[in-house]
Amino acid sequence: MYQVGSNIVLGVKNSPRYRWFILATVSIGTFMSTLDSSIVNVALPTISASISNKSHVNISTLQWVVTAYLLTISSLLPVFGRIADLLGRKRVYSLGFLVFTLGSILCGFAPNIWFLIGMRILQAIGASMIMANSAALIIANFPPKERGRALGLIGTVVALGSLTGPAIGGIFVEFLNWRSIFFINIPIGILGYLVARIILPSDEPHQHKETFDFQGALFFTLGMISLMFAISNGQSWGWNSYPILIGLVLATLCLGIFVVTELRVTNPMIDLSMFRIPIFFIGNITGLLSFVAMFANVILMPFYLQQVLSYSPAQVGLLMTAFPLTMAIIAPLSGYASDRIGPVILTTSGLLVTALGLFYLSTLTITSLFWQIVPGLLLMGLGAGLFQSPNNSSVMSSVPPNKLGVAGGISALVRNVGMVIGIAFSISLFQNREASLLVGIINPTSLQQATAFVGAYQTVMLTSMGIALIAALISLNRKGFTRSETPPPKS
């Protein structure tokens, strides 16, 4: 049996399509880690009612179940990317599965909300070890003429993982319980670890000793945590409160020192020179804004569907599936088209369609029917599908081959920061608007609460529409894009 297994592994590694087995392995980890960025969204109302001795937890605290995960990833992506450069990508990537799986087990047994948030951070540490190495593993094993195609597929997996979470989470919460959304990661994590150890090429020792940028890593992490802390709690604590002001000042100071450090050190954690390339800069800015706009709806819609329309978690999951399914169909087609007509038309159109979808969602009321909600989600999926693949291709095609790994890491970082900002922004704006609509009402009725909820939701959707429109205007400035001279392979 051992001999048979060894022969299979040897056959895979000697296969002319070995690089595609590596891509499949990377896709497992990428999908799993990004899926958990949003899978708990639909379970938050259920968690609120059950985890703390049946007493409800407010939405500001609940958002940290999602935000802590994304914030940790955003802070540690460049750190683990650099560690992997020094210690080996296979070692760090495969170990990430074990850390992620352990975090998932502990999340499933969480006795209270703060333990759950803490274990979500442990999950995120494992996820960042996985995500930080995805692009680098692909770049190291794909020839230049196929890198764009492979990286585009990974970009699609990232988006699909992030957007499929609510649908899968809703089904598990309805038919099992909220803890099951974490336990499902156990077999996937173990399988991912074994496949990574078997399929991925062995790490080669570095011939040149390079130093790790501890100072840059420290100030970047502190700056990101301080900034996201201030943004996430500014509304509930007050923007003029001392903790929020200290957080903003500390973030500005730490990130400023980080930038100065990166410009001076020999081996920086993040190569900031990438942002001097106009197409790279525009692609990342529009990508950031697109995730801010999308996640404003992703975090709020489950609450609208369950608390206002009284849908079950399974119904919520089924309904929200319209978004990722539409994107899954459109994304490969738009990626194929972008190789022939360039990214400008497709990315700009995608952002405009996203804006249209957000405008449609802003018209929903306390009596909207199932079939009236679906078109908005279909438009969102269509817009995301049109935008993501061409944008990823534009970003990665704008940098020289020897900087593809750095570019991939920065793009992953920008996406996660966009998710964090989208959640923080939407919750802050939502709570502010809802409070203003209920001002003067001491004991609001259920109807008044639902009406205020929908009014606040509509405000967030319209604001997000404005963000998508700004991104579309920026996207129009993608000039100088050059199509690949080598057509994509047929295999």
Both tokens of 403, joined, read: 């900087």
Is 256:227 a contact under the CB 8 Å cutoff? Answer: no
Entry field: residues in the chain: 491
Domain around 132: 2-201+267-475
Which carries the bigger pLDDT value, residue 244 or residue 424? Answer: 244
> Are 330 and 188 found together in one domain?
yes
The verdict on residue 483 lying in a domain is no
Highest mean pLDDT pick, 25-39, 345-359, 403-417: 345-359
> Are 34 and 152 found together in one domain?
yes
At 112, the amino acid letter reads N
CA Rg value for the chain = 22
Scanning 342-403, the segments in alpha helix (DSSP H) are 344-361, 370-397
Q: For 476, how many CA atoms within 13 A lie in the half-sphere containing its CB?
A: 6
> Are 262 and 196 found together in one domain?
no
Question: What average pLDDT does the segment 259-268 reach?
Answer: 79
The verdict on residue 249 lying in a domain is yes
pLDDT at 58 over 70: no
Which carries the bigger pLDDT value, residue 64 or residue 97? Answer: 97
CB within 8 Å of 226: residues ≥ 6 apart: 247, 248, 250, 251, 254
> Are 134 and 195 found together in one domain?
yes
pLDDT at 57: 59
Last residue of one domain, picked from the residues 266, 284, 299: 266
> Are 62 and 48 found together in one domain?
yes
Question: What average pLDDT does the segment 274-303 reach?
Answer: 87
Q: Which residue has the tokens 């525009």?
A: 282
Q: How far apart, in whole angstroms, are the C-alpha atoms of residue 142 and residue 475?
A: 28
**Arithmetic mean of pLDDT over the chain:** 79
Which carries the bigger pLDDT value, residue 139 or residue 345? Answer: 345
Q: What are phi and psi of 458, to 5 degrees?
A: -60, -40
> Cα–Cα distances in Å, from 274 out to 283, 376, 408, 413, 475?
12, 36, 11, 13, 18
The verdict on residue 121 lying in a domain is yes
> Cα–Cα distances in Å, from 141 out to 14, 21, 137, 333?
13, 11, 6, 25
Domain count along the chain? 2
Is 85:210 a contact under the CB 8 Å cutoff? Answer: yes
Confidence band, pLDDT 50/70/90 cuts, at residue 483: very low
Question: What average pLDDT does the segment 285-311 reach?
Answer: 86
Angle between helices 144-175 and 322-341 (to 10 degrees): 170
> Are 303 and 445 found together in one domain?
yes
Question: What average pLDDT does the segment 460-481 reach?
Answer: 87
> Are 259 and 274 found together in one domain?
no
Q: How far apart, in whole angstroms, are the C-alpha atoms of residue 403 and residue 59?
A: 41
pLDDT at 314 over 60: yes
pLDDT at 184 over 80: yes
The verdict on residue 466 lying in a domain is yes
Confidence band, pLDDT 50/70/90 cuts, at residue 55: very low
Is 72:124 a contact under the CB 8 Å cutoff? Answer: yes
Question: What average pLDDT does the segment 383-410 reach?
Answer: 75
> Are 413 and 284 found together in one domain?
yes
> Are 358 and 460 found together in one domain?
yes
Q: Which residue has the tokens 């077999």?
A: 187
The verdict on residue 482 lying in a domain is no
Is 170:13 a contact under the CB 8 Å cutoff? Answer: no
pLDDT at 59: 66
> Are 371 and 358 found together in one domain?
yes
For residue 270, what is the enclosing H or E element? none
SS3 content of the chain, % helix, strand, coil (to 5): 80, 0, 20
Confidence band, pLDDT 50/70/90 cuts, at residue 424: confident
> Cα–Cα distances in Å, from 155 out to 135, 344, 390, 450, 471?
9, 18, 10, 37, 18
Question: What average pLDDT does the segment 395-415 reach?
Answer: 71
pLDDT at 79 over 80: no
pLDDT at 378: 92
The verdict on residue 485 lying in a domain is no
The verdict on residue 23 lying in a domain is yes
- Give per-residue pLDDT as tens, 104-143: 999 888 887 888 888 989 998 998 888 877 777 777 777 7
> Are 353 and 338 found together in one domain?
yes
The verdict on residue 489 lying in a domain is no
Give, rounded to a whole angstrom, the gap between the first and last alpha carbons of the chain. 31
> Are 361 and 393 found together in one domain?
yes
Residue whose C-alpha is closest to residue 37's, from 76, 78, 73: 73
pLDDT at 4: 41
Q: How far apart, in whole angstroms, are the C-alpha atoms of residue 335 and residue 386?
A: 8
pLDDT above 90 covers what percent of the chain? 13
Can you give the CATH number for the domain in which 385 is found?
1.20.1250.20
Last residue of one domain, picked from the residues 251, 266, 281: 266
Confidence band, pLDDT 50/70/90 cuts, at residue 208: low
* Of the listed ranges 1-15, 127-141, 222-236, 349-363, the one predicted with least confidence: 1-15
